[in-house]
Structure 1
């Protein structure tokens, strides 16, 4: 009786072991010394899209790609014979439908007392997710590198402009004034270093941890780490754009704007941003004049002012957005560095805590903020001021402690007859239509590689070169090039001169320009040249897709 019970227990245990073998989360293979497979579990067979019976009798090498077969025969087959083991070998398997399965392979040989190989155990892990995470990691690292390089370029040009301003004022200003300027420069560069180092800490730390997780095969939280790194890189890119806005060097694309419609269309985003404790009101002037401005930047400026007003009312309050026609006389214009004339005014008023005069004077200084640490960069009002001035207008703050604050943007009236375009939010991701070939010109190898991958993701064929001379050679050889996508700051000619040269023989060639910072190539007096399609670095896949599609469709 005891023997029967023991036999049943042994059968149950054997069934459990067999179930574990067949349904393990990895592939198991047992092979004879000549490499013929004697047994394969269901997991491995399902990965290959076949059955275990069709695998038995074949060799493991039969399921590898051609490069994998050569590599296996020359490196790992001898390794098994000599050492009896190899670990963590990356090989691509060919599935029954012809597609590839990235894998990590481990093998160990069991030997008889004589030393001859009795059988070989092979363990296979599905590395599809690991390959994808590795690619995402490379792209995130490239984005971080671009952001770091942009900061270096921005710091260099920013210091040059500040140094020039200090030199011009030296003879006329007192020693005290000079000391204040030096202090302001220290505050600015210190603010840049502080904020950017914090963002790089998130980027580098997230990528480092993701790299270590992938190396260990633990990829569960890798998407979160990559998302955090991407967020840090995005915030760093936003920081450089705000600094360019304050210094009035951002490229603007002005167009006729109906400020009433723009404010009305912002209702949804304002409601979600400001929350329920803020009572919102809009007072839109009848017969409001048109202005000419960059609509995206104007919308960002109004949103910045609304967020600033919300933060001044932590316990709730009322926010009013008002539009009006305004005439600026010579007296007011001379006091505020403006040109006399007619302006469209957009005002944002809150019933918050208000500001004393000394705070109002500093409010537009870069990195100046009265908010708690981590609650603001001190660049919001600086960006609004820079945008208003670069657009030929003005920005003014009126405030009383305990009463609230009004912030006004003045933009010149537009007397043109061009129609106002309806603003439609576009979050689409248009892909290539047919066999469209993009000529990519970029002198930075990392950026060139990332942009190539992004364009290929959108379905375009890509011909990537590192300089304008190589691009001109390709344009002479290839009549099937659909569009020129070029960086601007390059040697021996910039992107604008390259485009002009290319259009001598291809006058209808669509061109998209891109750069992190440029002066006078496609931007003059802070405004994009007419007809120029420009993409600011760094860019998202959606922004790239829409700009490329826009340029191609314009020529159809």
Structure 2
């Protein structure tokens, strides 16, 4: 009996301790309900959560903690029935405090049975998880907003990879850029977007390894869309770690930068074209000024040498020296002409021609220039279009290319001249900022020589740049070709590799006009006349030389040192048959205006211009104005005599 009493005391003590423990809990509402749902116990946590003291709630039905809506739906009763039937009931929902405020509660209800399985009541545990739910709601909202944000982005492909590179998410931008729907790519490896070459080189694997090791991988390169087309992608891959620092995969951002790169390349080409244009303009101005003075100087030398040649006639030694000096003058004139060609300051007299017919007349000239050890082959396509070009300058350009080819072949090999029609389309023009898309006649000169490196090609058209030994070339041949073709509205392109020969292609604009019938070259002996010629020349030495030359030819010569003085002579009423005037002279009256006013006074007057550099006085767009006669300095006595007779004959 004593032991039984002791056992009951122990159990009572244990029960008291448990009640004290439950009562002391503040974070949970722990209380008992009887079998009908009435409150029979109440702990401190319940009082704190719900606002009721124990004496206010014990004996009251627990349904009062539910909202009116839940009460109307019978949720409290169903909760007890579920707990009894299933052994437990768990739920989350709104509950009501004494003051009427609501809180979000996590509820657990367990049935309590006696030893003989009679339902004694229910144990109810309630926790206020409002803050937790609010935090979860904020997180859920943020996640939803982030998902909406990611899905709403269409300019970027934003997607996730697992640690092995398998795709686990896919946004609308990824679908737009790469062409795959989400269902087509989820669960597949991201390397599918790489080119076969990059896959073979292991780039996808290296990208992930770099991102993991360095915390980021950034790269631009070609990627492949679903339809097989390629685009230039800017790619960023970042490793992702969870809250515990565990590596869980990668975030991958891809942007299509094809247009941006194309725009950047176009801008770079435009900048290069602008720099080239500015360089050409600067060189053109420099060469123009130099050419004017230099050609005047050469004219003085040439004129006096030609006059001297008559004085030393019969003295073989003196004649030879004079001819050597005259040959030097020709070389100087050619050098000045090359500089003007590169600076696009030549005076061109283009004619519509069939390039195939022109090339056939050049066969013998080319063979003589190249030597017998070089085989020359010409290929002319059928249905060749016409082009409008200055024949003399084209001949010079072709000879320069041929001589360069001969030197590259060390005097032995094969030179091929090919002519055909060519269409340079918009894509080609976009890749070459200085080219206009359109139809061209293509003249290609190919050799079997040593070829050029990319570095040499980059400078091939620069004036005075040469790879030949000192004294073997001026470095102006290709620059002359370049300037002449560009001034003619065309395009030049070099194709070459070291040891594999060189091809230079000239693209000359197509002309739809009929071929211009060329007059045969005047080979008649130079003769003079007795007409009266007014010479307007500001350079005293040039003026003296030309006056003496014209007088030797039998002409009556009147002299003026400038345009205004020449106009005064015209207005004097004296008979004048031809005005021979320099284009560029100081003073307010321009030579073209002098010619116009002189013709108004003397309608039958012939006009012949001369100049070492015309600027834009009688040349526009690189072409001599229609109807204008020009004799470029330096000129020979024979050239002067023939052009004087030609100009006088035209006025009749």
Aligned pair 1:268/2:364, yes or no?
yes
Q: Which runs of 4+ in 1 moved over 4 A?
A: none
Alpha-carbon spacing, 1:355–1:485, altered in 2? closer, same or farther (3 Å): same
Aligned to 1:266, the other structure's residue is in SS state helix
Equivalent residues in 2 for 1:135-534 (5 A)?
221-336=317-432, 337-417=434-514, 419-422=515-518, 424-433=520-529, 435-490=530-585, 491-534=587-630
Number of residue-to-residue matches in the alignment: 360
Q: In 2, are the aligned partners of 1:512 and 1:548 still within 8 Å (CA)?
A: yes
The match for 1:93 is none
Q: Which has the larger radius of gyration?
A: 2
The match for 1:116 is none
Alpha-carbon spacing, 1:367–1:272, altered in 2? closer, same or farther (3 Å): same
Q: Deviations over 1:239-260 (max 9, x none)?
A: 1111111011111111112211
User: How far did 1:291 drift?
Assistant: 0.7
Higher mean alpha-carbon deviation, 246-255 vs 447-456, is at 447-456
Q: In 2, are the aligned partners of 1:431 and 1:459 still within 8 Å (CA)?
A: no
User: How far did 1:455 drift?
Assistant: 2.0
The match for 2:234 is none
Q: Deviations over 1:295-349 (max 9, x none)?
A: 1111111111111111111141111111101111011123231111111111111
Q: Deviations over 1:170-208 (max 9, x none)?
A: xx989xx99xx8xx99xx99xx99xx9xx99xx99xx9x
Unaligned runs of 5+ in 2: 1-266
User: How far did 1:484 drift?
Assistant: 0.8
User: How far did 1:224 drift?
Assistant: 3.1
Q: Deviations over 1:110-147 (max 9, x none)?
A: xxxxxxxxxxxxxxxxxxxxxxxxxxxxxxxxxxxxxx
Q: TM-score, length-normalised on structure 1?
A: 0.60
Q: In 2, are the aligned partners of 1:251 and 1:523 still within 8 Å (CA)?
A: yes
Aligned pair 1:535/2:635, yes or no?
no
Q: Which whole-Å CA distance do the structure 2 matches of 1:384 and 1:304 have between them?
A: 8
Q: Which whole-Å CA distance do the structure 2 matches of 1:383 and 1:431 have between them?
A: 34
Q: Which whole-Å CA distance do the structure 1 matches of 2:417 and 2:463 have between them?
A: 25
Q: Which whole-Å CA distance do the structure 2 matches of 1:314 and 1:275 have between them?
A: 11
Q: In 2, are the aligned partners of 1:289 and 1:414 still within 8 Å (CA)?
A: yes
Alpha-carbon spacing, 1:310–1:334, altered in 2? closer, same or farther (3 Å): same
User: How far did 1:550 drift?
Assistant: 2.0
User: How far did 1:479 drift?
Assistant: 5.0
Q: In 1, are the aligned partners of 2:354 and 2:387 still within 8 Å (CA)?
A: yes
Aligned to 1:388, the other structure's residue is in SS state helix
User: How far did 1:513 drift?
Assistant: 0.8
Alpha-carbon spacing, 1:263–1:173, altered in 2? closer, same or farther (3 Å): closer
Alpha-carbon spacing, 1:351–1:221, altered in 2? closer, same or farther (3 Å): same
User: How far did 1:235 drift?
Assistant: 1.5
Q: In 2, are the aligned partners of 1:430 and 1:458 still within 8 Å (CA)?
A: no
Q: In 2, are the aligned partners of 1:354 and 1:401 still within 8 Å (CA)?
A: yes
Q: In 1, are the aligned partners of 2:577 and 2:604 still within 8 Å (CA)?
A: no
Q: Deviations over 1:190-243 (max 9, x none)?
A: xx99xx9xx99xx99xx9xx9xxx9xxxx7633333333222222222111111
Q: TM-score, length-normalised on structure 2?
A: 0.51
Alpha-carbon spacing, 1:426–1:473, altered in 2? closer, same or farther (3 Å): same
Higher mean alpha-carbon deviation, 354-363 vs 227-236, is at 227-236
Q: In 2, are the aligned partners of 1:348 and 1:406 still within 8 Å (CA)?
A: yes
Higher mean alpha-carbon deviation, 224-233 vs 308-317, is at 224-233
Alpha-carbon spacing, 1:346–1:426, altered in 2? closer, same or farther (3 Å): farther
Higher mean alpha-carbon deviation, 383-392 vs 280-289, is at 280-289
Aligned pair 1:545/2:641, yes or no?
yes
Alpha-carbon spacing, 1:335–1:550, altered in 2? closer, same or farther (3 Å): farther
Q: Which whole-Å CA distance do the structure 2 matches of 1:437 and 1:553 have between them?
A: 14
Q: In 1, are the aligned partners of 2:578 and 2:607 still within 8 Å (CA)?
A: yes
